[in-house]
Amino acid sequence: MSKPNLLLIGIDSLLSKHMSCYGYFRHTTPYMDKFAEGGTLFENYFSPHIPTTPGYASMFTGLDCFGDNTVALRHQGPISGKTLAEILNDEGYNTTCIGFRGNAAARGFQTYLDFANWNAGEDGKAHKAENLNNACLPELRRLAAEDKPWFLFLRHMDPHTPYLPPRPFDRLFYEGNEYDPNNHSMDPVFSFKPFCDYFMDWMPTGPNGELLTDKDYVIAQYDGAVCYMDTCIKNIFTALTTLGLDDNTIVVITSDHGETLYDHDCFFDHHSINDNTLCVPLIIRWPGHVPAGKRIKGWGRHQDFVPTLMDLMQIDPKVKFDGESLMPLVRGEKASNCSEFYITECTWMRKHGWRTPQWKLIRALEPDFHFKPEVELFDLINDPEENINVAEQNPDIVATLTARMNAFIEKREKETGATNPMFRQEYWHGHTEVGPYFTSSQQAYDTMHIGSARQAAKLQSKTEK
pLDDT confidence of 460, banded at 50, 70, 90? low
Q: What does the domain layout of the chain look like in residue ranges? A: 5-184+212-338, 342-456
Q: CA-to-CA distance for 281 and 47, rounded, in angstroms?
A: 10
CA distance 326 to 59: 13
pLDDT above 70 for 464: no
Q: How far apart are CA 119 and CA 160, in angstroms?
A: 11
pLDDT in tens, 42-85: 999 999 999 999 999 999 999 999 999 999 988 888 899 999 99
* Per-residue confidence (pLDDT) for residue 465, from 0 to 100: 42
Predicted pLDDT at 347? 87
Q: 342-456, what's its fold? A: Arylsulfatase, C-terminal domain (3.30.1120)
- Tell me if 17 sits within 8 A of 24, measured CB to CB: yes
Check whether the bond before 168 is cis (ω within 30° of 0): yes
Given the DSSP bridges, would you call strands 350-355 and 94-98 parallel, antiparallel or unpaired?
A: unpaired
Cβ atoms of 23 and 278 within 8 Å: the answer is: no
Does the pLDDT value for residue 248 go beyond 90? yes
Which residue type is seen at 147?
A: D
Fold match between domain 5-184+212-338 and domain 342-456: no
pLDDT digits (tens, 9 = 90+) for 315-358: 999 999 999 999 999 999 999 999 999 999 998 999 999 999 99
pLDDT of residue 458 exceeding 60, the answer is no
How many angstroms separate the CA atoms of 195 and 186, rounded? 13
**CATH T-level assignment (fold) for domain 5-184+212-338:** Alkaline Phosphatase, subunit A (3.40.720)
Compute CA distances 251 → 10, 89, 222, 236, 289, whole Å: 11, 18, 24, 11, 12
The per-residue pLDDT of the chain, averaged, comes to 94
Over residues 3-18, the mean pLDDT reads: 97
Q: Provide the 3-class DSSP secondary structure of residue 147.
A: coil
> Which pLDDT belongs to residue 121?
81
pLDDT digits (tens, 9 = 90+) for 265-313: 889 999 899 999 999 999 999 999 999 999 999 999 999 999 999 999 9
Q: What is the pLDDT of residue 283?
A: 98
CA separation for the pair 39, 285 (Å, rounded): 4
Q: Residues 306, 324: contact at Cβ < 8 Å? A: no
